[in-house]
Amino acid sequence: MLSEWRVGKPFQGPDAPRWGFLRFAGVVIAPIIRWMFRVNAAGFENVPAGPLIISGNHVSYVDGLLLWTLHRRYRHETHFLIKKEIYQITPLRWIFHWIGSIPVERGTADRHMISICEAFLKAGDSLAVFPEGRRVRDKAADELGEALSGAAFLAIRSGVPIVPVGIVGTGQIMVEGRRLPRRPRVYMRIGAPLYPEQFTGARRERMDNMTAAVMAAIAGLMDAAELARSGRLEHRHKTGAIVKQKIGEVHANATEKDH
């Protein structure tokens, strides 16, 4: 396909193609999307220069889209990790290829994807990873979903920070019983970066501790976003468990072998 050759291509450097559609969409389409969903975002001053990983909570398919609309404001061209199944929808596959996203096969140690992510970070690009790995189905729950260690694995392995983001309001866009989406106010708060060197111990322990810290930061940012959105905080968001998943064990093993 005309768009598939862009998979694995960085945003900068000698191997970078001309990302014309991405630039156009960032300037013209992104502001329209933010207006449609009444996005209120703050905390851009917390985003450092250089390659990094953006990580937020995940309730709706719209989370990634709205986070992408901010990439010009936080001054980082960002590759989004998106589950491979969605690429089966042809129009979406074309769009994702044209904006530089990365297909991910969930539940497996996709070493090809890992090598692409590491190459992007080395080239100076940034990544967006949802630690929960999938949407949290219970939109009314005050507890975040179980967290996977992929973002921390990449951050520690590449020596880049993770910037947490708390998102509230997207769970009210698609409501059961309604055919058309609603336009709730969506609030997003960006927090201070977490650096790999802040976490000590064995590699597995560092991955788990960094993941736990990222999820705790996201929960706090969701509280701040909800307080800004409604003027009150009826409950505080809590972090879920850190999954000792097979993919995390494979990641840890891969790290042990490569160092």
Whether 7 is covered by a domain: the verdict is: no
Whether 12 is covered by a domain: the verdict is: no
Q: Under a CB-based contact definition with an 8 Å cutoff, are residues 185 and 225 in contact?
A: no
Whether pLDDT at 244 is above 70: no
- Measuring CA to CA, which residue among 173, 182, 236, 224 is closest to residue 46? 224
pTM here is 0.82
91 CB-near residues (< 8 Å, 6+ apart): none
Q: Which residues face 166 on adjacent strands?
A: 189
pLDDT value at residue 111: 80
247 CB-near residues (< 8 Å, 6+ apart): 107, 108, 109, 148, 150
Q: Under a CB-based contact definition with an 8 Å cutoff, are residues 27 and 72 in contact?
A: yes
Instruction: Give the CATH number of the domain where residue 127 resides.
Output: 3.40.1130.10
| Residue 106 parent element (H or E) | none
Task: Using DSSP, state whether 37 is helix, strand or coil.
Answer: coil
CA angle, 8 as apex, 97 and 32 as ends, to 5°? Answer: 35
* Integer Cα distance of 189 and 141 in angstroms: 19
Whether 189 is covered by a domain: the verdict is: yes
Whether 14 is covered by a domain: the verdict is: no
Whether pLDDT at 16 is above 70: no
Q: Give me the domain span that covers residue 185.
A: 37-258
Q: Encode pLDDT of 38-95 as tens digits.
A: 999 999 999 999 999 999 998 887 888 888 889 888 878 888 887 776 767 766 777 7
Whether 8 is covered by a domain: the verdict is: no
* Least confident residue range of 78-92, 118-132, 158-172: 78-92
Q: What is the mean pLDDT of residues 231-251?
A: 58
Whether 249 is covered by a domain: the verdict is: yes
Q: Give the number of domains in the chain.
A: 1
